[in-house]
Amino acid sequence: MPTLTRAEAADRAAVVDVEDYHVDLDLTADGDTFRSRTVVRFRARPGAATFLEFEPVDVASMTLNGVPVAPGASTGVRLELTGLAEENELVVDALMRYSNDGEGLHRYTDPADGRTYLYQHLFINNAGRVLPSFDQPDLKASFRVSVTAPADWVVATNGILVSREGGRWEFAPTKRISTYLASLIAGPYHVVTSEHDGIPLALYARAALAQHLEAQAPEILQLTRQALDRFHEMFEIRYPFGHYQQAFAPEFNFGAMEYPGLVVFRDEMIPRSKVTDSERERRANIIAHEMAHMWFGDLVTMAWWDDLWLNESFAEYLGSRVTAEATRFSDAWTTFAMQRKAWGLRADQRPSTHPVAPSEVSDTDEALLNFDGISYAKGAAVLKQLVAWLGDEAFLTGLNAHFEAHAYGNATLADLLGALSKASGRDLSGWAEVWLRRAQVNTLRAEVTRDGANYAEVAVAQTAPEGYPTLRPHRIGVGLYDRVPGGGVVRRKRLEVELEASGRTVLTALTGEPAADLLLLDDGDLTYAKIRLDPESTAGVPQLLPLLDDSLARAVIWAAMLDAVVDGERPVAELVTLVLAALPMETEVAVVEDVLRATRGLVDRYATPETRPAALELVAQAADRLLAASMGGSSRQLAAVRGLIGATVDTARLHGWLAGDGVPDGLTVDADLRWLIIYRLSVLGAADSEIIEAEREQDRSASGEQWAARCRAARPDAAAKEAAWAAVIGDGSLSNRLAELTAAGFWQPEQLDLLEPYVERYFADMPEMMRVRSGMSAEHIAVVAYPTVAVSARTRELAADLLGTDGLNPILRRVVQDSDDDMRRALAARG
Integer Cα distance of 373 and 378 in angstroms:
6
Helices (H), 349-407: 364-369, 379-390, 392-406
Integer Cα distance of 389 and 362 in angstroms:
33
Across the beta sheet with 474-484, what order do the strands follow?
A: 488-499, 474-484, 518-521
Catalytic-residue membership of 617: no
Inter-residue contact 391 to 425 (CB < 8 Å): no
Integer Cα distance of 187 and 162 in angstroms:
19
SS3 track for 453-481: CEEEEEEEEEECCCCCCCCCCEEEEEEEE
Across the beta sheet with 504-506, what order do the strands follow?
A: 504-506, 454-463, 443-451, 530-532
CA distances from 582 to 79, 570, 591, 615 (A): 62, 17, 11, 16
Q: What is the phi-psi region of residue 474: left when phi exceeds 0, alpha when psi lies from -120 to 50, beta otherwise?
A: beta
User: b/e map of 194-217 (b: 16 or more CB within 10 Å)?
Assistant: bebeebebbbbbbbbbbebbeebb
Closest to 524 (Cα-Cα) out of 493, 548, 492, 556 = 556
User: b/e map of 458-479 (b: 16 or more CB within 10 Å)?
Assistant: bbbebebeeeeebebbbbbbbb
Integer Cα distance of 196 and 216 in angstroms:
17
CA distances from 23 to 37, 258, 537 (A): 6, 20, 63
CA distances from 708 to 112, 266, 620, 734, 765 (A): 14, 19, 25, 14, 24
Burial of 50: CB neighbours in 10 Å, binned 0-12, 13-18, 19+: buried
Give the distance from CA 189 to its chain's centroid. Answer: 25
Which backbone phi and psi does 124 adopt, to 5 degrees? -95, -20
Q: Could you tell me whether strands 409-411 and 262-266 are parallel, antiparallel, or unpaired per DSSP bridges?
A: unpaired
From the list 103, 290, 588, 695, the catalytic residue is: 290
DSSP symbol at 285: H
Burial of 643: CB neighbours in 10 Å, binned 0-12, 13-18, 19+: buried
Which backbone phi and psi does 261 adopt, to 5 degrees? 85, -15
Inter-residue contact 679 to 691 (CB < 8 Å): no
Integer Cα distance of 821 and 827 in angstroms:
10
- Give the DSSP H/E element, type plus range, for residue 12: helix 6-15
Integer Cα distance of 147 and 154 in angstroms:
11
Side chain identity at 71, as an amino acid letter? Answer: P
Neighbours of 176 (CB within 10 A): 18
Integer Cα distance of 57 and 62 in angstroms:
14
The set of catalytic residues is 290
